[in-house]
Amino acid sequence: MGQYDSAAEIEAAALTWVARLDRARDPDELHLELAGWLANDPRRKGAFLRAQAIWVKIDRAALAESHANLPARQTRRWAMAGGGAGLLAASSVGAWFALVGRPVNTAQGEVRHIPLPDGSSLDLNTDSQIEVGMGRKHRGVQLHRGEAWFQVEKNPQRPFVVEAGRARIMAVGTAFSVRRFDLAVEVLVTEGVVLAWLLGREAQAVRLEAGDKGRLDPDGAHRLVSAAAEIDRRLAWRVGKIDLADETLEDAVSEFNRYNRRKLRIKGSAVASRRLYGVFRIDDPEGFATSVHYALGIPVEPQDDQIVIG
Protein backbone atom coordinates (compact mmCIF):
# COMPACT_ATOMS: atom_id res chain seq x y z
CA MET A 1 0.00 0.00 0.00
CA GLY A 2 2.75 2.37 1.04
CA GLN A 3 4.02 2.83 -2.48
CA TYR A 4 2.62 5.61 -4.60
CA ASP A 5 4.15 5.54 -8.05
CA SER A 6 4.06 8.64 -10.16
CA ALA A 7 1.87 8.56 -13.25
CA ALA A 8 5.02 8.74 -15.36
CA GLU A 9 6.46 5.62 -13.71
CA ILE A 10 3.20 3.78 -14.19
CA GLU A 11 3.06 4.76 -17.84
CA ALA A 12 6.61 3.54 -18.44
CA ALA A 13 5.80 0.25 -16.75
CA ALA A 14 2.60 -0.19 -18.77
CA LEU A 15 4.42 0.38 -22.06
CA THR A 16 7.07 -2.11 -20.98
CA TRP A 17 4.33 -4.65 -20.25
CA VAL A 18 2.98 -4.36 -23.78
CA ALA A 19 6.46 -4.79 -25.27
CA ARG A 20 7.17 -7.74 -22.96
CA LEU A 21 3.96 -9.49 -23.89
CA ASP A 22 4.74 -8.91 -27.55
CA ARG A 23 8.14 -10.49 -27.06
CA ALA A 24 7.00 -13.44 -24.97
CA ARG A 25 6.82 -16.80 -26.69
CA ASP A 26 4.17 -17.87 -24.25
CA PRO A 27 2.38 -14.79 -22.90
CA ASP A 28 0.25 -17.03 -20.68
CA GLU A 29 3.22 -17.42 -18.38
CA LEU A 30 3.19 -13.69 -17.69
CA HIS A 31 -0.49 -13.64 -16.84
CA LEU A 32 -0.21 -13.91 -13.07
CA GLU A 33 2.56 -11.38 -12.87
CA LEU A 34 0.61 -8.93 -15.01
CA ALA A 35 -2.59 -9.48 -13.04
CA GLY A 36 -0.65 -8.83 -9.83
CA TRP A 37 0.80 -5.63 -11.20
CA LEU A 38 -2.57 -4.39 -12.43
CA ALA A 39 -4.32 -5.14 -9.16
CA ASN A 40 -2.27 -2.71 -7.12
CA ASP A 41 -3.49 0.64 -8.43
CA PRO A 42 -6.44 1.58 -10.66
CA ARG A 43 -4.18 3.92 -12.59
CA ARG A 44 -2.18 0.91 -13.73
CA LYS A 45 -5.23 -0.62 -15.37
CA GLY A 46 -5.85 2.67 -17.09
CA ALA A 47 -2.26 3.08 -18.20
CA PHE A 48 -2.16 -0.50 -19.49
CA LEU A 49 -5.33 -0.01 -21.57
CA ARG A 50 -3.87 3.19 -22.97
CA ALA A 51 -0.55 1.48 -23.76
CA GLN A 52 -2.35 -1.31 -25.62
CA ALA A 53 -4.36 1.29 -27.51
CA ILE A 54 -1.15 3.00 -28.62
CA TRP A 55 0.25 -0.35 -29.73
CA VAL A 56 -2.74 -0.96 -32.00
CA LYS A 57 -3.23 2.64 -33.00
CA ILE A 58 -0.67 2.37 -35.76
CA ASP A 59 -2.53 -0.52 -37.36
CA ARG A 60 -5.88 1.01 -36.68
CA ALA A 61 -5.04 4.36 -38.19
CA ALA A 62 -3.63 2.61 -41.21
CA LEU A 63 -6.93 0.93 -41.95
CA ALA A 64 -8.18 4.25 -43.22
CA GLU A 65 -5.63 3.97 -45.99
CA SER A 66 -5.79 0.25 -46.55
CA HIS A 67 -6.80 0.72 -50.14
CA ALA A 68 -3.86 2.94 -50.94
CA ASN A 69 -1.90 0.26 -52.70
CA LEU A 70 1.48 1.76 -53.35
CA PRO A 71 4.69 0.22 -54.62
CA ALA A 72 6.78 -1.74 -52.18
CA ARG A 73 9.91 0.25 -52.92
CA GLN A 74 8.59 3.37 -51.21
CA THR A 75 7.64 1.55 -48.07
CA ARG A 76 11.05 -0.02 -47.85
CA ARG A 77 12.63 3.37 -48.03
CA TRP A 78 10.51 4.48 -45.13
CA ALA A 79 11.40 1.48 -43.10
CA MET A 80 15.13 1.61 -43.46
CA ALA A 81 16.19 5.08 -44.50
CA GLY A 82 16.58 8.29 -42.56
CA GLY A 83 13.90 10.45 -41.03
CA GLY A 84 13.51 12.84 -43.94
CA ALA A 85 12.76 10.13 -46.44
CA GLY A 86 10.53 8.56 -43.87
CA LEU A 87 8.17 11.47 -43.78
CA LEU A 88 8.06 11.53 -47.53
CA ALA A 89 7.02 7.92 -47.73
CA ALA A 90 4.86 7.89 -44.65
CA SER A 91 1.62 8.25 -46.53
CA SER A 92 2.29 5.09 -48.51
CA VAL A 93 2.81 2.88 -45.52
CA GLY A 94 -0.86 2.52 -44.74
CA ALA A 95 -1.52 -0.50 -46.87
CA TRP A 96 1.31 -2.38 -45.23
CA PHE A 97 0.25 -1.62 -41.75
CA ALA A 98 -3.28 -2.62 -42.47
CA LEU A 99 -2.25 -6.03 -43.69
CA VAL A 100 1.08 -7.06 -42.40
CA GLY A 101 1.32 -9.01 -39.20
CA ARG A 102 -2.38 -8.83 -38.55
CA PRO A 103 -4.62 -11.79 -39.23
CA VAL A 104 -7.29 -11.26 -41.86
CA ASN A 105 -10.45 -13.33 -41.50
CA THR A 106 -13.50 -14.16 -43.51
CA ALA A 107 -16.78 -15.17 -41.91
CA GLN A 108 -18.78 -18.16 -43.09
CA GLY A 109 -20.11 -17.41 -46.56
CA GLU A 110 -17.83 -14.43 -47.04
CA VAL A 111 -15.33 -14.17 -49.88
CA ARG A 112 -12.87 -11.28 -49.84
CA HIS A 113 -10.57 -9.91 -52.47
CA ILE A 114 -7.44 -8.58 -50.81
CA PRO A 115 -4.82 -6.57 -52.72
CA LEU A 116 -1.29 -6.97 -51.37
CA PRO A 117 1.27 -4.18 -51.21
CA ASP A 118 3.57 -5.75 -53.84
CA GLY A 119 0.86 -5.77 -56.52
CA SER A 120 -0.15 -9.36 -55.86
CA SER A 121 -3.63 -10.13 -54.63
CA LEU A 122 -5.59 -12.92 -53.09
CA ASP A 123 -9.19 -14.06 -52.85
CA LEU A 124 -9.95 -15.40 -49.41
CA ASN A 125 -12.68 -18.02 -49.32
CA THR A 126 -15.27 -18.70 -46.63
CA ASP A 127 -14.26 -19.16 -42.98
CA SER A 128 -10.56 -18.60 -43.61
CA GLN A 129 -7.71 -16.76 -41.97
CA ILE A 130 -4.42 -15.48 -43.33
CA GLU A 131 -1.56 -13.35 -42.14
CA VAL A 132 0.68 -11.42 -44.51
CA GLY A 133 4.40 -10.99 -43.94
CA MET A 134 6.55 -9.06 -46.36
CA GLY A 135 10.31 -8.99 -46.18
CA ARG A 136 13.15 -7.70 -48.30
CA LYS A 137 14.06 -11.12 -49.62
CA HIS A 138 10.71 -12.82 -49.70
CA ARG A 139 7.01 -12.25 -49.70
CA GLY A 140 4.88 -14.50 -47.58
CA VAL A 141 1.37 -15.38 -46.54
CA GLN A 142 0.44 -17.74 -43.76
CA LEU A 143 -2.78 -19.60 -44.35
CA HIS A 144 -3.98 -20.38 -40.85
CA ARG A 145 -7.32 -21.79 -41.92
CA GLY A 146 -9.45 -22.31 -44.98
CA GLU A 147 -8.67 -21.54 -48.60
CA ALA A 148 -7.24 -18.75 -50.71
CA TRP A 149 -6.45 -18.17 -54.38
CA PHE A 150 -3.34 -16.16 -55.06
CA GLN A 151 -2.37 -14.04 -58.04
CA VAL A 152 1.31 -13.34 -57.62
CA GLU A 153 3.06 -10.36 -59.17
CA LYS A 154 6.23 -11.48 -60.91
CA ASN A 155 9.40 -10.77 -58.95
CA PRO A 156 12.14 -13.43 -59.11
CA GLN A 157 14.19 -11.54 -56.51
CA ARG A 158 11.45 -11.91 -53.91
CA PRO A 159 9.79 -15.30 -54.12
CA PHE A 160 6.25 -15.54 -52.81
CA VAL A 161 5.78 -18.32 -50.27
CA VAL A 162 2.51 -19.56 -48.82
CA GLU A 163 2.78 -21.39 -45.50
CA ALA A 164 -0.01 -23.76 -44.50
CA GLY A 165 1.04 -25.69 -41.44
CA ARG A 166 4.18 -27.54 -42.52
CA ALA A 167 3.35 -27.20 -46.19
CA ARG A 168 5.19 -24.62 -48.28
CA ILE A 169 4.17 -23.44 -51.72
CA MET A 170 6.52 -21.11 -53.53
CA ALA A 171 5.90 -19.05 -56.65
CA VAL A 172 7.67 -16.23 -58.40
CA GLY A 173 4.85 -15.03 -60.62
CA THR A 174 1.79 -17.18 -61.06
CA ALA A 175 -1.71 -17.98 -59.85
CA PHE A 176 -2.73 -20.84 -57.61
CA SER A 177 -5.00 -21.76 -54.75
CA VAL A 178 -4.19 -23.37 -51.42
CA ARG A 179 -6.73 -25.06 -49.20
CA ARG A 180 -6.12 -26.47 -45.76
CA PHE A 181 -7.76 -29.65 -44.61
CA ASP A 182 -7.27 -31.26 -41.22
CA LEU A 183 -4.30 -33.32 -42.25
CA ALA A 184 -3.55 -32.25 -45.78
CA VAL A 185 -3.12 -29.23 -47.99
CA GLU A 186 -4.38 -29.07 -51.55
CA VAL A 187 -2.83 -26.86 -54.22
CA LEU A 188 -4.47 -26.01 -57.54
CA VAL A 189 -2.34 -24.21 -60.10
CA THR A 190 -4.21 -21.97 -62.54
CA GLU A 191 -1.21 -20.26 -64.18
CA GLY A 192 2.55 -20.70 -64.32
CA VAL A 193 4.56 -22.96 -62.04
CA VAL A 194 4.84 -23.43 -58.30
CA LEU A 195 7.10 -25.51 -56.09
CA ALA A 196 5.52 -27.32 -53.15
CA TRP A 197 7.17 -29.16 -50.25
CA LEU A 198 6.87 -30.07 -46.61
CA LEU A 199 8.96 -28.19 -44.11
CA GLY A 200 12.15 -30.16 -43.46
CA ARG A 201 11.71 -32.16 -46.66
CA GLU A 202 12.75 -29.56 -49.18
CA ALA A 203 14.56 -32.20 -51.24
CA GLN A 204 11.25 -33.86 -52.08
CA ALA A 205 9.66 -30.69 -53.46
CA VAL A 206 7.29 -31.24 -56.35
CA ARG A 207 6.91 -28.93 -59.32
CA LEU A 208 3.32 -28.15 -60.23
CA GLU A 209 2.27 -26.53 -63.49
CA ALA A 210 -0.92 -24.87 -64.67
CA GLY A 211 -3.71 -27.44 -64.57
CA ASP A 212 -1.97 -29.53 -61.92
CA LYS A 213 -3.33 -30.43 -58.55
CA GLY A 214 -0.92 -31.02 -55.69
CA ARG A 215 -1.46 -32.58 -52.33
CA LEU A 216 0.70 -32.27 -49.25
CA ASP A 217 0.03 -34.66 -46.43
CA PRO A 218 2.14 -36.26 -43.69
CA ASP A 219 3.59 -38.62 -46.33
CA GLY A 220 4.99 -35.77 -48.38
CA ALA A 221 4.22 -33.70 -51.44
CA HIS A 222 2.42 -35.32 -54.38
CA ARG A 223 1.59 -34.17 -57.85
CA LEU A 224 -1.82 -35.28 -59.07
CA VAL A 225 -2.46 -34.50 -62.68
CA SER A 226 -5.86 -33.03 -63.23
CA ALA A 227 -7.72 -31.34 -66.01
CA ALA A 228 -7.71 -27.55 -66.08
CA ALA A 229 -11.50 -27.67 -66.35
CA GLU A 230 -11.73 -29.27 -62.94
CA ILE A 231 -9.62 -26.51 -61.46
CA ASP A 232 -11.89 -23.83 -62.86
CA ARG A 233 -14.86 -25.58 -61.38
CA ARG A 234 -13.16 -25.98 -58.03
CA LEU A 235 -12.41 -22.27 -57.93
CA ALA A 236 -15.94 -21.20 -58.89
CA TRP A 237 -16.31 -19.84 -55.32
CA ARG A 238 -14.43 -16.78 -56.51
CA VAL A 239 -17.53 -15.80 -58.46
CA GLY A 240 -20.02 -16.99 -55.86
CA LYS A 241 -20.82 -20.32 -57.51
CA ILE A 242 -20.56 -24.00 -56.79
CA ASP A 243 -19.91 -25.90 -60.00
CA LEU A 244 -20.68 -29.60 -59.83
CA ALA A 245 -19.73 -32.16 -62.46
CA ASP A 246 -20.25 -35.72 -61.37
CA GLU A 247 -19.66 -35.00 -57.68
CA THR A 248 -21.50 -37.16 -55.15
CA LEU A 249 -24.42 -35.66 -53.29
CA GLU A 250 -22.39 -36.11 -50.10
CA ASP A 251 -19.50 -34.01 -51.44
CA ALA A 252 -21.85 -31.38 -52.82
CA VAL A 253 -23.63 -31.07 -49.48
CA SER A 254 -20.40 -30.67 -47.56
CA GLU A 255 -19.36 -27.98 -50.05
CA PHE A 256 -22.60 -26.01 -49.50
CA ASN A 257 -22.24 -26.41 -45.76
CA ARG A 258 -18.86 -24.65 -45.86
CA TYR A 259 -20.62 -21.45 -46.88
CA ASN A 260 -24.00 -21.47 -45.22
CA ARG A 261 -25.30 -21.39 -41.72
CA ARG A 262 -28.44 -23.22 -42.82
CA LYS A 263 -27.03 -26.72 -43.20
CA LEU A 264 -27.99 -29.42 -45.65
CA ARG A 265 -28.26 -32.87 -44.13
CA ILE A 266 -28.52 -36.17 -45.95
CA LYS A 267 -30.86 -38.74 -44.49
CA GLY A 268 -29.90 -42.26 -45.39
CA SER A 269 -26.66 -43.40 -47.00
CA ALA A 270 -28.32 -44.68 -50.14
CA VAL A 271 -28.73 -41.23 -51.69
CA ALA A 272 -25.34 -39.94 -50.55
CA SER A 273 -23.51 -41.50 -53.46
CA ARG A 274 -25.86 -40.21 -56.16
CA ARG A 275 -23.99 -37.95 -58.58
CA LEU A 276 -24.83 -34.45 -59.74
CA TYR A 277 -24.17 -31.85 -62.43
CA GLY A 278 -24.97 -28.16 -62.36
CA VAL A 279 -23.91 -24.67 -61.38
CA PHE A 280 -25.49 -23.30 -58.22
CA ARG A 281 -25.37 -20.10 -56.24
CA ILE A 282 -23.09 -20.63 -53.29
CA ASP A 283 -25.49 -18.93 -50.86
CA ASP A 284 -28.61 -20.74 -51.96
CA PRO A 285 -28.79 -24.19 -50.33
CA GLU A 286 -32.59 -24.12 -50.73
CA GLY A 287 -32.26 -23.73 -54.50
CA PHE A 288 -29.79 -26.57 -54.58
CA ALA A 289 -32.08 -28.81 -52.52
CA THR A 290 -34.99 -28.05 -54.84
CA SER A 291 -32.88 -29.00 -57.84
CA VAL A 292 -31.88 -32.24 -56.15
CA HIS A 293 -35.54 -32.96 -55.52
CA TYR A 294 -36.51 -32.49 -59.17
CA ALA A 295 -33.41 -33.94 -60.79
CA LEU A 296 -32.96 -37.02 -58.65
CA GLY A 297 -36.48 -37.48 -57.33
CA ILE A 298 -35.27 -37.38 -53.75
CA PRO A 299 -37.60 -35.95 -51.08
CA VAL A 300 -36.48 -32.69 -49.52
CA GLU A 301 -37.75 -31.31 -46.24
CA PRO A 302 -36.89 -27.72 -45.27
CA GLN A 303 -36.80 -27.28 -41.50
CA ASP A 304 -36.02 -24.20 -39.42
CA ASP A 305 -32.29 -24.56 -39.11
CA GLN A 306 -31.53 -27.17 -41.74
CA ILE A 307 -32.72 -28.81 -44.92
CA VAL A 308 -33.06 -32.56 -44.87
CA ILE A 309 -32.45 -34.40 -48.14
CA GLY A 310 -33.52 -38.01 -48.50
Touching other proteins, residues 129-148 (CB under 8 A): 131-136
CB 103 to other proteins: min, Å: 6
Determine the interface stretch with other proteins among 3-11, 212-220, 281-289, 300-308 (rule: CB under 8 A): 3-11
CB 73 to other proteins: min, Å: 13
Cβ-contact 205, 171 below 8 angstroms: no
CB 258 to other proteins: min, Å: 23
Q: Report the residue number, 18 or 236, with the smaller CB distance to other proteins.
A: 18
Which positions from 45 through 84 interact with other proteins, judged by CB under 8 A?
Answer: 45-62, 64-65, 75, 78-80, 82-83
Backbone angles phi, psi at 266, to 5 degrees: -95, 130
If we measure between CA atoms, which residue out of 186, 118, 123 comes closest to residue 150? 123
**160-164 and 139-145 beta bridge pairing:** parallel
Q: Which residues pair with 309 in a beta bridge?
A: 266, 300
Backbone angles phi, psi at 85, to 5 degrees: -65, -35
Question: For the packed helices 42-63 and 7-23, what is the interaxial angle rounded to 10 degrees?
Answer: 60
Residue of the chain from 40, 71, 73, 87 that contacts other proteins (CB under 8 A)? 87
Q: Does 224 bind other proteins (CB under 8 A)?
A: no
Size of the site for other proteins (CB under 8 A): 71
Q: Does 199 bind other proteins (CB under 8 A)?
A: no
Edge-to-edge strand ranges of the sheet holding 167-171: 104-105, 129-134, 139-145, 160-164, 167-171, 193-198, 206-209
CB 82 to other proteins: min, Å: 8
Q: Report the residue number, 61 or 224, with the smaller CB distance to other proteins.
A: 61
Determine the interface stretch with other proteins among 18-26, 204-212, 214-222, 242-250 (rule: CB under 8 A): 18-26
CA–CA separation, 154 and 171 (whole Å): 9
> What's the per-residue H, E or C state across 194-250?
EEEEECCCHHHCEEEECCEEEEEECCEEEEEECCHHHHHHHCHHHHCEEEEEEEEHH
CB 239 to other proteins: min, Å: 31
CB 6 to other proteins: min, Å: 6
Q: Does 279 bind other proteins (CB under 8 A)?
A: no
